[in-house]
Structure 1
Amino acid sequence: MADEPPPPLRKDARRNRTALLSTAKAAFAAEGLNATLKGIARRAEVSIGTLYRHCPTRMDLVATVIADKKRAWIKAAETAVAMESAWDGLVFFLERTCELQAGDLAFNDIASMRFPHAHGIEAAGKRAFDLGGRIVERAQAEGTLRPDLAAEDFAFIVWAQARISEATHAIDPNAWRAATSP
């Protein structure tokens, strides 16, 4: 039946999968989504065929390794929408997004929609955008955010942070905080 879960992995296959995913997560964070799959397989000490058995495409691998970050991004937006003070929610969401981007070039690529139509990524981006719109609307209704600002303006902040993170990730992944400190 198509709905049955796959059989459990053998011990060596589990070890290979764990090595691949942790190596891919580190490689994508350091090099962005263009990190080579051959390099990831080599550093994980498995063959490229083993990598493709576990994740048939690059975007399958990417979606797997950034799943936690996508969930954290959506959770931050949901938390921001639920905060009593709309302004505090807006600030929280922006800071949390910057924290998630800091030192992770793969998440920068995702958040800045470098791969907007990728499997498993488009839905998270749309959900974050929709929630971002609600965050903006709440802050405007509260009177703490200018009425001429739009949810689309978040993209400029995310893109700017992506470039800051890209430029400083090897030196100081939290350099972005200097710009936000009083």
Structure 2
Amino acid sequence: MTDRLPHALRSDALDNRERVLDAARALFATEGLNVPMREIARHAGVGPATLYRRFPTKQTLVTEVFQDQMRACHTIVDEGLADPDPWRGFRRVVERTCELHAHNRGFTEAFMSAFPDAVDFAADRAYAMNAIAELARRAKDAGRLRPDFVLDDLILMLMAHRGIHVPSAAARVTASRRFAALVIQAFQVSATHEPLPPVPRLAPAYP
């Protein structure tokens, strides 16, 4: 029995860690990063002491929770750069970035954070922004992206996108896709526009 005890303890510790991560993912996605650590512990079914033993600070927890999203963000910009058509690559970056952020409100806050005590993805953010800057340069050279576009416009886009609050995940994704289409039309040089994606119902029907 004593030989099996350490293994059982390790198994329980691993289960607790995964429950905390699952709870944090769910709460950060719907409520953002301001969720109290005690609420995450309650949602995970563990005590606060157990949570802090696994994740001493919220920063360590958030960094762990959003590793997959940061990898997805890298993939998005890398695939955009690899597209032989820079404007198509740029469009896909905008569309897929909006969709990625639509699925997780907390990731938007973590990615955008620049406050000293907040979660800092500085290296990942710098990588993504440098890659997008190169892609934007190519799209401008191809005559498709308006010449006065600057990276601050992309930050402005993410800030505005963060304001999408709708009752369901499906409606949030639908709204995000339409928002991305409007942004792309604003960024492009051509005056011709493709049809917009469907509009979600965001308010009561008009009389």
Asked which structure has the greater RCO (Cα within 8 Å, sep 6+), the reply is 1
- How much has 1:163 moved relative to structure 2? 1.0
In structure 1, the partner of 2:166 is 168
In structure 1, the partner of 2:56 is 56
Residues 29 and 104, structure 1, Cα contact 8 Å, conserved in 2: yes
In structure 2, the partner of 1:73 is 73
In structure 1, the partner of 2:92 is 92
Distance in 2, Cα, partners of 1:146 & 1:178: 20
What do the CA deviations read for 1:25-73 (whole angstroms, capped 9, x no partner)? Answer: 0011111001111011011111111111111110110010011011101
- How much has 1:116 moved relative to structure 2? 5.3
Counterpart code for 2:172: P
Distance in 2, Cα, partners of 1:121 & 1:52: 21
What do the CA deviations read for 1:1-30 (whole angstroms, capped 9, x no partner)? Answer: xxxxxxxx7000000001000000001111
Distance in 1, Cα, partners of 2:91 & 2:110: 21
In structure 1, the partner of 2:42 is 42
Identity of aligned residues (%): 35
- Residue 113 of structure 2 corresponds to residue 114 of structure 1: yes
- List gaps (5 residues or longer) in structure 2: 1-8, 182-195, 198-207
Matches within 5 A, 1:128-167: 128-164=128-164, 167=165
Larger Rg: 2
| SS in structure 1 at match of 2:35 | coil
Residues 103 and 170, structure 1, Cα contact 8 Å, conserved in 2: no
Query: If the length of structure 2 is used for normalisation, what is the TM-score?
Result: 0.77
Distance in 2, Cα, partners of 1:84 & 1:133: 16
Distance in 1, Cα, partners of 2:53 & 2:150: 43
- How much has 1:178 moved relative to structure 2? 3.0
- Residue 194 of structure 2 corresponds to residue 177 of structure 1: no
Residues 110 and 120, structure 2, Cα contact 8 Å, conserved in 1: no
Distance in 1, Cα, partners of 2:156 & 2:172: 19
What do the CA deviations read for 1:81-121 (whole angstroms, capped 9, x no partner)? Answer: 1111000110110011101111311012123x134555551
- 4+ residue stretches of structure 1 with deviation over 6 A? none
- List gaps (5 residues or longer) in structure 1: 1-8
Query: If the length of structure 1 is used for normalisation, what is the TM-score?
Result: 0.87
Distance in 2, Cα, partners of 1:44 & 1:18: 9
How large is the RMSD of aligned CA atoms in angstroms? 1.7
